[in-house]
C-alpha cells in the first residue's frame, strides 16, 4: 500500500499507532475489533503492530467500528507517516554525508 507517495512501512506504522490509541480510548481488544469489523484477529494485530496491511477496505472497517472520523484519522495518519518519512530521509542523507566525508 502506498499513501500519497509515502513509503508503505511508514504509513503502516502510523496507522498502527493511531488505531492503538483509538482502541485504548474505547477500551477494546484486538479480538473485539476483529469481530465487529469482520476481520481476522491476525489482520487486526498486523495493522496494530505496523506490519503491512491489506489496504483501505480494512482501514475503513476498523475506523467505522471504532467510530472515528475517517477524514481526521486519515489526516493524522498522513501527518505521522510524513514525519516518519522525513526522519528516514534525513537519516539517509546524514549517512551518505558521513560516508562521503569518511572517504575524503
Q: What CATH number corresponds to the domain at position 74?
A: 1.10.260.40
| Angle at the Cα of 27 from the Cα atoms of 21 and 33, rounded to 5 degrees | 80
Dist CA 36 CA 67 (whole Å): 11
| Angle at the Cα of 71 from the Cα atoms of 69 and 75, rounded to 5 degrees | 115
- If you count them, how many residues does the chain have? 104
91 within a domain of the structure (yes/no): yes
Domain that holds residue 12: 8-103
Residue 7: predicted pLDDT: 60
| Angle at the Cα of 18 from the Cα atoms of 14 and 21, rounded to 5 degrees | 140
Domains held by the chain: number: 1
Cβ-based neighbour number of residue 6 at 10 Å: 19
Q: Rounded to 5 degrees, what are φ and ψ at 57?
A: -65, -45
Dist CA 46 CA 33 (whole Å): 13
1 within a domain of the structure (yes/no): no
Residue 68: predicted pLDDT: 64
3 within a domain of the structure (yes/no): no
DSSP state of 69: -
Partners of 3 in beta bridges:
6
pLDDT band at 63 (very low <50, low <70, confident <90, very high): low
Residue 102: predicted pLDDT: 85
The model's pTM is 0.42
55 within a domain of the structure (yes/no): yes
31-50: pLDDT as tens digits: 777 776 777 777 777 777 76
51 within a domain of the structure (yes/no): yes
2 within a domain of the structure (yes/no): no
Residue 47: predicted pLDDT: 73
Residue 82: predicted pLDDT: 78
80 within a domain of the structure (yes/no): yes
Is 6 a residue whose pLDDT tops 70?
Answer: no
Average pLDDT, the chain: 72
Read off the pLDDT of each residue in 84-97 and give the average, rounded to a whole number.
Answer: 83
Amino acid at each position: 500500500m502506498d499513501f500519497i507517495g509515502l513509503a508503505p512501512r511508514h504509513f503502516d506504522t502510523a496507522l498502527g499507532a493511531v488505531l492503538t490509541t483509538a482502541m485504548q480510548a474505547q477500551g477494546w481488544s484486538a479480538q473485539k475489533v476483529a469481530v465487529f469489523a469482520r476481520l481476522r484477529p491476525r489482520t487486526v494485530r498486523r495493522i496494530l503492530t505496523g506490519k503491512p496491511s491489506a489496504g483501505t477496505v480494512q482501514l475503513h472497517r476498523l475506523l467505522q467500528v471504532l467510530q472515528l472520523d475517517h477524514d481526521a484519522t486519515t489526516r493524522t495518519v498522513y501527518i505521522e507517516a510524513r514525519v516518519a518519512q522525513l526522519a528516514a530521509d534525513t537519516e539517509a542523507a546524514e549517512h551518505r554525508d558521513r560516508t562521503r566525508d569518511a572517504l575524503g
